Chain A
């Protein structure tokens, strides 16, 4: 299973594409694409690129465990929550940082 993630243009904050087509901060709200969602995923990537507002767009593999989205890579855990050492809150979106496709 896969999710789409990137960094929002203004703040650089880590964001995820949700089911409503909005780029949001919370990993748990990310839309999970299964094997049969290839077309939808490609369409979402294309639409995201058209906004010009999401950088470093990546497809990340995840596992859904007990209803929770768990990224396969440690890198993604850290991107989702912020640095572990020193501990800092993750970057947040500004008022004008909300992007939809």
Chain B
């Protein structure tokens, strides 16, 4: 993992002291809320419905045991004993008090964490594949480049007041697990004709009010020029992005209105100016950063795989967990383990302080001290020996973390919604809870197979509903919460935005409506090997529309 150098440490320490003084001045009345608000937001501190909310950055979703223990400590000491992991691989605390924030930030700084740039019209936390550096299908570990981008984008003087927030996601694997086509910029590792590894650059993707699939800006940018290329892209956006209308200010609108060719022309012209200049990344620097992400000292092990079929007979719960929650690792005898934060009836993405401690202990003991936060609001032990799986499972069972449902219908992405969020139109967590209860049976979940449900409490789409195989958007109509259902979204490399099939449903009707969609899929699929999303693509909207609204 990356460790702060002296510059990083001093910078975060100074920022913490600076904000501490700003809080003091706010509390003493020397500063008004109008003056204080932008300062607190720059430090990740929002004011929500019931209390302040502190959003802490987890750079590219990677966190150490020590850091996770600190998050547990913050949950326990300053909050209500839990934290909420988000779709941006961050963590949010929902109940901190203003006077405690300076100490929380100081505690975070002591483990090389902060909350800077988790709000505001700047470049936000760079997200990536939760299996980065471990996945068998990876061309390259994207985290060294993600770290370089983090350093480049932190307090970038030119890009601290962009027309709107800016989100970058990247993946080094062929399978897109980071939803890169739905970010302002998406980076995908690729090779050129000479077999050298570089980056495809996608631009103008996004969710929210105007969902858009990113467009290919460049098919190949070498590592050494990536910073110059991104700087050129941001510069074009900063110059031409709309500042007159908040809803049209994201780069996706600029790309849509101007056309990708025109944007490419502008970016290339800018790139021609800056290429080869100060932003050229020397190989030595890339090597230096890459060293922080060197593969751990794996053991050479005899046991290379787990007999899942056998385990399913011996212990169906364990067997199912093995079947669903493991991801193939590049190192023989190792796997990545998804720890589900989606228990039946729970709030997706929430973990208690005790659970955080437990997971930190597991990481220390079994995964080289490393953890990941996924954009699907789960946690991951990235490097686990297959022989350690039974011991890990046992601990997870004792701590309510052993749901074997990764990628299944109960593994729901869900934003905080109207229970917490000041921008919400409708509640989202109760819908997720009801759906997990409805589809609680492991046998039923296995029968359904891969199916991603994503729920947002407003059109801002933090719950990624547009790209759910089934998406649920909460809206408010005449004082009633209504839920708009979309079908056919896909956040992967087969990127698709879900189709709205008709009117919304009241909350009580949602579980049955979803069940009708599921039953239609099961009745019409070619075989159990055809997943929901594939069946939807083959069958089209009609059968699903009929399932929701009846025949015309």
Contacts and interface: CB of A to CB of B under 8 A. Distances in A.
Contact of B51 (A12, A72, A73, A75): A12
Interface string B62-105: 00000000000000000010000000000000010111000000
By size class, the interface of chain A is 20 to 34
Interface in A62-101: 72-75, 78-79, 82-86, 88, 90-91, 94
B50 A82 contact: yes
A78 B99 contact: no
Nearest to A51: B29
A9 B419 contact: no
Given A52-B29, A74-B479, A11 B47 contact: no
B114 interface: no
Given A74-B418, A74-B476, A84-B430, A9 B51 contact: no
By size class, the interface of chain B is 20 to 34
Contacts of A55: 33, 47
A43 to B, nearest CB: 20
Contacts of A52: 29, 32-33
Provide the main secondary structure of the chain A interface: loop
Interface string B416-440: 0011101010010110010000000
Contacts of A73: 479
B179 to A, nearest CB: 26
A9 B29 CA distance: 11
Contact of A91 (B51, B433, B479): B51
B22 to A, nearest CB: 13
- Give the interface centre of B50, B346, B429, B481 by most chain A CB atoms within 10 Å: B50
A7 B429 CA distance: 23
Contact of A72 (B32, B48, B479): B479
B465 to A, nearest CB: 18
Nearest to B431: A85
A94 B96 CA distance: 12
25 contacts: A7-B47, A10-B27, A11-B51, A12-B48, A12-B51, A12-B97, A13-B50, A52-B29, A56-B47, A74-B479, A75-B49, A78-B49, A79-B49, A79-B50, A82-B50, A83-B420, A84-B419, A85-B429, A85-B430, A88-B80, A88-B95, A90-B50, A91-B51, A91-B95, A94-B97
Interface of B: 26-27, 29, 32-33, 47-52, 80, 95, 97-99, 346-347, 350, 418-420, 422, 424, 427, 429-430, 433, 476, 479, 481
Given A7-B51, A12-B48, 14 more contacts: A11-B98, A12-B98, A52-B29, A55-B33, A55-B47, A56-B47, A79-B50, A83-B420, A84-B419, A85-B347, A85-B419, A91-B51, A91-B95, A94-B97
